[in-house]
Structure 1
Amino acid sequence: MTDRADRVALTAVVFAVMLAQTLVYPGVDLLAAELGGSGVSAPTLFLSVEFAAFVLFVGGWGALSDSTGRRRPLIVVGALGGAAGYLSLAVLPSLVDLSFVGALAVRGVQGALTVGAFSLAMSALADLEGGNGRNMGAAGIAIGLGTAIGAPVGGRLYEYDVFAPLYLATGLLAVAGVLALLVPDQVPAESDEGGLSALVRGVRERRELAVPYAFAFVDRLTAGFFALVGTLYFREAFGLGPAATGLMLAAFFAPFALLQYPFGVLSDRVGRIVPVSAGSLTFGVAVVAVGLAPSAAWAAVAMVVVGVLGALMAPATLALVVDLAGDTERGLAVAGFNAAGSLGFLAGSLVGGGVAATYGYLAAFGVAGGLEMLVALATLPALLRLGRRTGRTAVFGSGD
């Protein structure tokens, strides 16, 4: 296959994983209740367990891939294992007396497997020629399209059957596993790094990675916030059903998807610093604006703005990680990025849900947007120093 064909296949894998994941968001409270959970804590736990597994296992997948010089077979195992996990969640309640704790355990295993397919497909994209901004823009558009389509489709499926999103997720991950078989490995070289400790060691040895990791954390915190708190807020504040809630989430995810690739290419030209810094400084304000919107229509407009700013930042931030990583540590560096992002998503669900339950939705939007602005301001000096110190065209742009 050519690099273009490989890029399309790997992008499709990332898309399938994200679409499967996002299908459950619009009615996650309904699904959690059907699996035996109750109260606001049930959907929070259901989302959080998956992302806790992401954090715990993504480093192992990346290290194993770098050390063996193989990505394709691991992507296949992760995708097919994730498909089995989704299917188990859908069928086990009708076969055995599955408790909510048991469902959470299955969810954790599903997350541990799915993250392998997701992270290593992104690492395989980074292995391709064509520019890190272009390749990470392709990953970004796959992530964005998966989430943009998954939200409204999942909402419709919930109105048909509460387990329907899980069945579709099963099929999508099975297809992703088959697609991965078509892509040859192009891992640059072998590395002897391994384990979660390698993520910490990697940041210590390349401390500049902490900067894009911080942005990954806070950006995904916002995504986790909208997946849980945003879903509940739109349902309660505006009286929206699952389908309409999915469309509201798509108001963010659609521009986030469609603009990732062009913004990724832009970052190859102008560098990573401007898109990351400019987007992050205004992103938090837009998040707060969603919570202040007086109607569903104005909330949708604010969500579009959030999506545009997110698309400006996301591919440039991930491309910066690839720029800074050594050739033998690319899988681990991308795994670290995904670990930081997954930890952020987990924090967004837990913190956002906790603040909303205790102090109300407006306070929760203020915390989510305020954290984005705080991290942006705190890390901006380091980001600018990084650009001045490296002097890399990959960081500053090619200028052509």
Structure 2
Amino acid sequence: MTVKRARTVLAATVFAVLFAQVLLYPGVTDLVALWTDAPAGESLAETGLDAGKWFLAAEFAGFVLFAGAWGALSDALGRRVPLVTAGALGGALGYAALAGLALVDASFGTVLLVRFAQGALTIGAFSLAMTMLMDLDGGHGRNMGAAGIAIGLGTALGAPVGGRLADLDPIAPVVAAGALLVLPGLVVLLVEDRAPGGREGEGALAALSSLRARPALSLPYAFGFIDRLTAGFFALVGTVYLRSAFDLDATATGLLLGAFFAPFALLQYPMGVLSDRIGRKVPIALGSTLYGLVVVGVVLAPTVPLVAVLLVLTGVTGAFMSPATMALVTDLAAERDRGVAMGGYNVVGSFGFLVGIVGGGTLADAFGFTVAFVVVGLAEVVLAAAALPALSRVDPERVSVFDRGEKGESA
């Protein structure tokens, strides 16, 4: 299989995981009501965001705890394809189990345990598909741009489709998510495994130790954390805010969220290519600053059309920084530690998403939506300012940010 075709298949795998994940977000209020006593459509607002907060957080707890383990295992084995398949098919079973729990009198605690297991499995497919993109030739920004557009399209399409499905039946998005993950789990078997050979005599702990030997990775990790924190914040608090502030149903909420995700998706690839040409520093620093400011603007907008415009701007600025941040991970990672490096990036990113859900939900519950949006948006701005000196000292030659060629494009 050529590099281009492999890139397409792997990007499609990333897309499927994100699409399945986001299908559940617009209708999460109605979904958690199946296992709680709160009335459908009002559960999050009436329970202080608690039920939805923990339902979303359980999946990301699985992400946080297992992303690094999947990456370390793939580096130690020198193989990624069978692990991607295992993660995708295991995630599909997890979604199927959640759908089954809606048919019985299951406790919410049981639901959260299954949700955690589903997340622990799904992150294997997601993180290792991204790692396999790192293994390809053709430019790190280009490959991470492909990952970024897959992430963006998955979330862009998942929100409106999930909202429509949730209005038909709260459990429909869960069923669709499980069915969707089966296909990439099988198709990825056609992709050549380009992982460097396994390190004989070294296990997962030895692979993880190599991550600590590259402290420069803390830069993209820090930005990955805060970027995903805002994503987690929007997944829960943003969804509830839009539904409550403007009296929107799940379908309308999904369409409005699509105003962010559509430009975020469509601009990922060209922005990734741009970062190959100009380097990572400007997209990361400037993009993060503008992104944080626009996030604050969303909660201050008085009308739905103005919110939509600001969400579009959020998507544009997010696309400017996201592929550059992921590409910097590739620039800094040793070739044989890419699984660990991307696993570590997804660990901190998933932890950020978790903080965005739990912390954002708690903040909004205690102080209101406006305070929550302002705190989260300004956190992005503060990080960009604080990290700028360290980011400016990154040696472009050492991290190979100017790999512009098409080497292996037709291999």
Q: TM-score range by the shorter chain?
A: over 0.9
**1:91 offset after TM fit, Å?**
1.5
Deviations 1:229-286 (A, max 9, x none): 0000000101111001001111111000000000001111111111111101111100
Give the alignment of 1:214-293 within 5 angstroms. Answer: 214-293=222-301
Change (3 A) 1:399 1:2: closer
What SS does the aligned partner of 2:247 have? coil
**1:19 partnered with 2:19:** yes
**1:399 offset after TM fit, Å?**
10
Q: Structure 2: which amino acid aligns with 1:132?
A: H
Q: Residues of 1 paired with 2:154 and 2:267: CA distance?
A: 14
**1:394 partnered with 2:403:** no
Q: Structure 1: which amino acid aligns with 2:4?
A: R
Q: Residues of 2 paired with 1:360 and 1:89: CA distance?
A: 31
**1:29 offset after TM fit, Å?**
1.5
Q: Residues of 1 paired with 2:298 and 2:328: CA distance?
A: 29
Deviations 1:274-329 (A, max 9, x none): 11111011111000000100111111111111100110111110000001000110
Change (3 A) 1:211 1:89: same
Q: Structure 1: which amino acid aligns with 2:87?
A: G
**1:202 offset after TM fit, Å?**
3.9
**1:109 offset after TM fit, Å?**
0.4
Change (3 A) 1:289 1:83: same
Change (3 A) 1:72 1:134: same
**1:102 offset after TM fit, Å?**
0.1
Q: Residues of 1 paired with 2:131 and 2:101: CA distance?
A: 33
TM (norm. structure 1) is 0.96
**1:203 offset after TM fit, Å?**
4.2
- 1:5 aligned partner: 5
**1:173 partnered with 2:175:** no
Q: Tell me which of 375, 378, 384 is aligned to 1:367.
A: 375
Q: Structure 2: which amino acid aligns with 1:41?
A: D
Q: Residues of 1 paired with 2:214 and 2:249: CA distance?
A: 47
Q: Structure 2: which amino acid aligns with 1:58?
A: A
Is residue 329–residue 342 contact of structure 2 (8 Å, CA) maintained in 1?
Answer: yes
Q: Residues of 2 paired with 1:99 and 1:341: CA distance?
A: 29
**1:43 partnered with 2:57:** no
Q: Residues of 2 paired with 1:41 and 1:89: CA distance?
A: 19
Aligned length: 396
**1:56 partnered with 2:65:** yes
Give the alignment of 1:69-148 within 5 angstroms. Answer: 69-94=78-103, 96-148=104-156
Change (3 A) 1:122 1:399: closer
Name stretches of at least 5 consecutive residues in structure 1 with no aligned partner.
none
**1:78 offset after TM fit, Å?**
0.4
Is residue 37–residue 100 contact of structure 1 (8 Å, CA) maintained in 2?
Answer: no
Q: Tell me which of 333, 340, 343 is aligned to 1:335.
A: 343
**1:172 offset after TM fit, Å?**
0.9
**1:318 partnered with 2:304:** no
Is residue 123–residue 330 contact of structure 1 (8 Å, CA) maintained in 2?
Answer: yes
Q: Structure 2: which amino acid aligns with 1:61?
A: W
Give the alignment of 1:208-219 within 5 angstroms. Answer: 208-219=216-227
**1:394 offset after TM fit, Å?**
2.8
**1:36 offset after TM fit, Å?**
2.7
Give the alignment of 1:184-199 within 5 angstroms. Answer: 184-191=192-199, 194-195=203-204, 199=208
Q: Structure 1: which amino acid aligns with 2:11?
A: T
Q: Residues of 2 paired with 1:262 and 1:194: CA distance?
A: 38
Deviates more, 1:73-82 or 1:202-211: 202-211
Q: Residues of 2 paired with 1:197 and 1:49: CA distance?
A: 28
Name stretches of at least 5 consecutive residues in structure 2 with no aligned partner.
39-46, 407-411
Deviations 1:105-153 (A, max 9, x none): 0000000000000000000111111111011000000000000000000
Q: Structure 2: which amino acid aligns with 1:394?
A: S
**1:194 offset after TM fit, Å?**
4.7
Is residue 233–residue 360 contact of structure 2 (8 Å, CA) maintained in 1?
Answer: yes
Q: Residues of 2 paired with 1:370 and 1:37: CA distance?
A: 36
Is residue 137–residue 265 contact of structure 1 (8 Å, CA) maintained in 2?
Answer: yes
Change (3 A) 1:193 1:131: farther
**1:375 offset after TM fit, Å?**
1.1
What SS does the aligned partner of 1:181 have? helix
Q: Structure 2: which amino acid aligns with 1:3?
A: V
Q: Residues of 2 paired with 1:399 and 1:93: CA distance?
A: 51
Q: Residues of 2 paired with 1:376 and 1:313: CA distance?
A: 11
**1:345 partnered with 2:353:** yes
Is residue 76–residue 204 contact of structure 2 (8 Å, CA) maintained in 1?
Answer: no
What SS does the aligned partner of 2:130 have? helix
**1:68 partnered with 2:74:** no
**1:53 offset after TM fit, Å?**
0.7
Q: Residues of 2 paired with 1:100 and 1:380: CA distance?
A: 44
Q: Structure 2: which amino acid aligns with 1:395?
A: V
Is residue 273–residue 396 contact of structure 1 (8 Å, CA) maintained in 2?
Answer: no
Q: Structure 2: which amino acid aligns with 1:27?
A: G
Q: Structure 1: which amino acid aligns with 2:327?
A: A
- 2:41 aligned partner: none
**1:193 offset after TM fit, Å?**
5.7
Change (3 A) 1:304 1:62: same
Percent same amino acid among aligned pairs? 57
What SS does the aligned partner of 2:190 have? coil
RMSD: 1.6
Is residue 56–residue 196 contact of structure 1 (8 Å, CA) maintained in 2?
Answer: no
Q: Residues of 1 paired with 2:379 and 2:211: CA distance?
A: 22
- 1:30 aligned partner: 30
